[in-house]
Structure formats: C-alpha cells, structure tokens
Amino acid sequence: MSARADAATSSGADAAAQAARRRSFAVISHPDAGKSTLTEALALHARVISEAGAVHGKAGRQGVVSDWMEMERARGISITSAALQFSYRDAVVNLLDTPGHADFSEDTYRVLSAVDSAVMLLDAAKGLEPQTLKLFDVCRHRGIPVITFINKWDRPGRDALALCDEVSERIGLTPMPLTWPVGVAGHFQGVVEAGDGSFTRYARTAGGATVAAEDRLPAQRAEAEVGADYTAAVEELELVTASGGEFDADRYLAGSATPVLFGAAVSNFGVRHLLDLLVELAPRPLPRPDVAGAPRPLEAEFSAFVFKVQTGMDPAHRDQVAFARVCSGVFERGMVVTNATTKRPFATKYAHQVFGQERSTVDTAYPGDVVGLVNATALRVGDTLYAGKPAVRFPGLPSFAPAHFAVARPADLSKAKQFRKGVEQLSSEGVVQVLTSDLRGDAAPVFAAVGPMQFEVAAHRMRHEFHSPVKLDRLPYSTVRRLADPAQRALVDAGRSSEVLTRADGTDLALFEDDISMRVLQRRHPELALEPLVAAGD
C-alpha cells in the first residue's frame, strides 16, 4: 500500500472511532421551559465553563456581549444558532442550539436535520406546549429519538403520572421513566432510579453556579431515611413500568417510546442523569444516505452539509457564516473542499465553532460535529461539501409548511433591480419561502414563513444589504395544502378566499383563509386533490 493510501485509511478509521464518541443533539422546548438554564447546567457538568451564565449571559448572570450579539439586540431578534461542544466521560457531546425567541422559524427546524437525537424539555407545571408539539412532530417525521426531561420539579406543578399520561396520549410515545420524583412537586426531596431503586437527594445549589456533590442512597437506606414519600414514589414508578413503561432501548431508538427523567435545571438537579443517558443511550452519528439513498460510510473522505447560513454578524464586512454538519471523514481547517451544488472549490481557511457569544477556531472536526465556515458567501442551506473523489450529494433540506404570508413590493420603485436580486438571494438562502403566480406577476412576490419573525429578518436584509426597502402586506391565509394536480389550479383560484401560488422548488401551494373555506371548496369540487404539506425532500 502506498504511503498516501495508508494515510487515507488511518484517517478513515480515525473518523469512525471519533464518530462513535459523538452525541449530537438538540433541546426541543417551548420558550421559558428552561432550555438556556439546562444548557448552562449541562455545560457546567461537563466543565466547559467554570460558572453557569457564561453561555447565554442572561440578566443577572455573567456573560460577555459581543458586537454580534449587540447587533442582534439592536435588531430585536436572536438568530444565533450553532453548537456547543463539550466532553463528558469518554464522549464528545455536541449540543446544537435552536433559536430561543418566542417566534418560530425555519431555522429551528433545520437544526433538527443536523442532530442524531433530541431532548424534549417540559415545564412540570405546563406539560406539552404548542412549540414543543411542533418540534416533536419534526422529530417524529425524521425518526429522531427523543429523551424527555421534566423540568422545574422544585416548584409546584402537575402530577408526575398525569404528565406521563399526557405524553402517551397526546404524542403517542410510551413514557419509560428512568427516574421518578420523591415528594410532590414543590416539596421535592429527590428522585428514585428505576434500575436499582437508589435515591438521589435533591439539593438546592446557590444560583445553579456549582455542581454539588451528589447525596445518593441505596434503596434500603432510602426506605429507612426518607420513608413514606420514597415508598410512594417506588410504587408509582412500578405502576408506570408495569403498564408498558419498562425501559427498552430499542423502542427509544425506534421512536415509539421515550425515556423520562425528572429534575430542576436551575439547581443542576437531574442533569447528571441526563448526561449519562445521552452518553450511554443516544445514537451516535450514522452513515448519512446520499441523494441516491446510498449511505456514505463514516470512514469515507470528508463530507458535510450546510444546515444554516447566518449573514451580517459583522456588518462592516457583511460576513456570512455557513454552519455545516460533518457526515464523514475528518475535517481539517484549510482543506479545500468541493461544493456539490456549484461544483466549485471552497477553501475552509476560516472555520469556527460558534455558540452564543463564544467563537473559537476549529482545526479538526469529525462526523457529528458542526463547523462554522466564515466568509462563506457561496454556500447555501442544503449544500453538500466534500473532499476528494467521487462526488457526493446529500438530499436537500426540507421546506416546511408556511403559516404566514405577505406580499412584498419595493418601497422605492427605482430599486426594482436590487429588489429582484435581494428576493432571489433570500429565497435561495431559505430566509423566507418565495411564492409567485402568473396572476400576481413577478413584481409582487409573496413571502411565506413558518414564523412571522422571518419577515423581519427578510425586511431588514432587503433594506440594509440590498438597499431596497420592502413594503410587506399580510395576506389573510392560514390553511395551506399542496395542490397535487396543476390542472386544478383554476378551481382554487376561482374560490372567493383562496389562490394557488408556486414555491421556488416548484411545489404548488393552495392557500385558504381558513379550514372552512377549504372544506366548502372541497365539497363543491370533490375531485379537488389537496395533500397535507409534509416536509418536502424527505
């Protein structure tokens, strides 16, 4: 074997071995459930930062605010989304951040295309909330296994059994509790573990800033020392376990059941259980199928796909960072890779790891890791990057059913050219979906978004980057379906409160003011073929 081939094989083996250590996941939750708090607690446990607060810099905590964050603040939005990497035991954990604002955007969904598993974080007082449900649907659709963490157990909330029932009834996942709370919410004493009945005592730590030493008792001692509350918890846990909730790793991996943990992120309680579970159970990166469906071996040469592009972090340089998830091989900073879409080379001179306000240079990355490629103006969401030969291309990222629509027009008609260029760019980056129809003509395309904040981002960029301020007029549509047969377009266009618009990917979307107007039209034209919009591209 030649020296070169030798080197290639050893780096392939390296990639596979490193991939086996990776756990790349995201937290799905409704705003305020405690995602930032949990992120800090996880990082603190893994000792990437010395004091909780350094990641997000929330009010009252420490945190350095960079220019980039300042700008986001000035815009009044947070569009940051990247990955926090830390090691825990023998594993390397990548926690991919999902935007934390109350609005919902396609970025949040796209992050889920880059993870291997998810943690569903519930507020003990609220249970399943709307955004958790939406994100969970994406996980289900993509076959992403979910661990459930029921947070805020330190204060009064709902009953543990009722919360488990809700998970089972509303989303059809069988809860498999691995810990169970001892003492009712608000008078939390600790958790009992499903395996050996051991008891971990709840301790409130000052501001959540330190990892307290754990006070853990074996079952027998817990019975004697904690008493009735412990016994009651064991009985409840047995009840859930006996009624189909016995732990089964295969059912978790298959997406039909979810391990459940109870805790209080603010006191770092339950966080160790969660980390252990992630390391022991959560799936590692697997070979990713290419467009033809053939899995790309982890040992193959470097490949990755771009799941997020962020522009304007530094307004002076109009820089653009593309976040790519490594799928195979070893990424080395400086390597020249090929963009499968354009067939053009791309030099990875500036590669960063970005999370919150922190940026550090990445020199090497393995399958499951995220690299932020700076000055990546040529890269688009969904692009595949690869090194060597043969070429590889991964499926594009799905477009999601939009829920908000607005007609866009140039505020200044003399800027029509800039307007067109900007709209094209925003569409190709996936900032908003751009819809058109012959009836409306090219001059007034319709912007469609999963969350209304996408409109703000689009308007901001049209003004500052393309120098063509836009006027956005909202359209009253709220129900959207795929029109299966283009020949039926006229039926929908003739409706009083409906029309068909075509998305840049060629999909015909039938838009209705509400469910009723859709049903009325369907009754009148039973032959009308409307399909629910599943994530296209899957």
Residues that bind ligand GDP (CB under 6 A): 29, 31-37, 100, 151-152, 154-155, 264-266
Q: What's phi and psi for 426, nearest 5 deg? A: -60, -35
Cβ closest to ligand GDP, residue 261 vs residue 266: 266
Q: Is 100 annotated as a binding residue?
A: yes
At 154, give phi and psi (nearest 5°).
-75, -10
Considering the complex, state which of residue 100 and residue 395 has its C-beta at the smaller distance from ligand GDP: 100
- Best CA proximity match to 429, nearest among 411, 447, 409, 416: 447
342 known member of a binding site: no
Tracing tokens 């190709």 back to the chain, one arrives at 428
Helix (H, G, I), strand (E, B) or coil at 245: helix
CB of 390 to ligand GDP, least distance (A): 43
| 324: β partners | 306, 371
Show the CA angle centred on residue 472, arms to residues 470 and 478, nearest 5°.
150
Written as one letter, the residue type at 497 is S
In the complex with ligand GDP, the residue whose CB is nearer, 271 or 530, is 271
Token code pair at residue 234: 């064991």
Between 150 and 304, whose beta carbon lies closer to ligand GDP? Answer: 150
Task: Kindly state the smallest distance separating residue 41's Cβ from ligand GDP, in Å.
Answer: 8
Q: Closer to ligand GDP at the Cβ: 188 or 366?
A: 188
Q: Closer CB to ligand GDP, residue 12 or residue 208?
A: 208
Distance, in Å, from the CA atom of 67 to the CA atom of 51, rounded to the nearest integer, reads: 22
CB 274, min distance to ligand GDP, A:
12
Rank residues 119 and 265 by Cβ distance to ligand GDP and give the closer one: 265
Asked if residue 175 belongs to a known ligand binding site, the reply is no
Residue 107 CB, shortest distance to ligand GDP, in Å, is: 16
Minimum Å distance from CB 25 to ligand GDP?
A: 16
Beta bridge partners of 3: none
Contacts of 116 (CB under 8 A, 6+ apart): 22, 23, 24, 25, 144, 282, 283, 284, 285, 286, 368
CA-to-CA distance for 144 and 505, rounded, in angstroms?
25
Q: How far is the CB of 128 from ligand GDP (least distance, A)?
A: 14
Q: What is the distance between the alpha carbons of residues 124 and 197, in angstroms, rounded to a whole number? A: 22
**CB nearer to ligand GDP: pick between 84 and 492:** 84
- Report the nearest approach of ligand GDP to the CB of residue 115 (Å): 17
Provide, rounded to whole angstroms, the least separation between the CB of residue 38 and ligand GDP: 7
Return phi, psi of residue 48, to 5°.
-80, -25
Going from the C-alpha of 466 to that of each of 311, 411, 443, 463, the distances in angstroms are: 13, 12, 16, 6
User: With respect to ligand GDP, which residue has the nearer C-beta, 55 or 379?
Assistant: 55
Name the pairing type of β-strands 174-177 and 83-88. unpaired
Work out the number of other CB atoms within 10 angstroms of the CB of residue 302: 24
Q: What minimum distance in Å lies between the beta carbon of 113 and ligand GDP?
A: 21
d(CA 285, CA 191): 31
**Alpha helices (runs of H) in 323-452, residue ranges in sequence order:** 416-429
How far apart are alpha carbons 138 and 146 in whole angstroms? Answer: 11
Q: Shortest CA distance to 86 belongs to which of 22, 14, 144?
A: 22
Q: Is 293 annotated as a binding residue?
A: no
- Least distance between ligand GDP and beta carbon 44 (Å): 13
For residue 63, give every residue at least 6 positions away whose Cβ sits within 8 Å of its Cβ, in sequence order, or none.
53, 54, 55, 56, 57, 356, 357
Taking the alpha carbons at both ends of the chain, their separation in whole angstroms is 40
Nearer to ligand GDP, 121 or 330 (CB): 121
Q: Is 90 annotated as a binding residue?
A: no
Task: Give the CB-side neighbour count of residue 354, counting CA atoms within 13 A.
Answer: 26
Rg of the chain over Cα atoms, rounded to whole angstroms, equals: 25
Residues at the binding site are 97-101
Residues at the binding site for GTP are 97-101
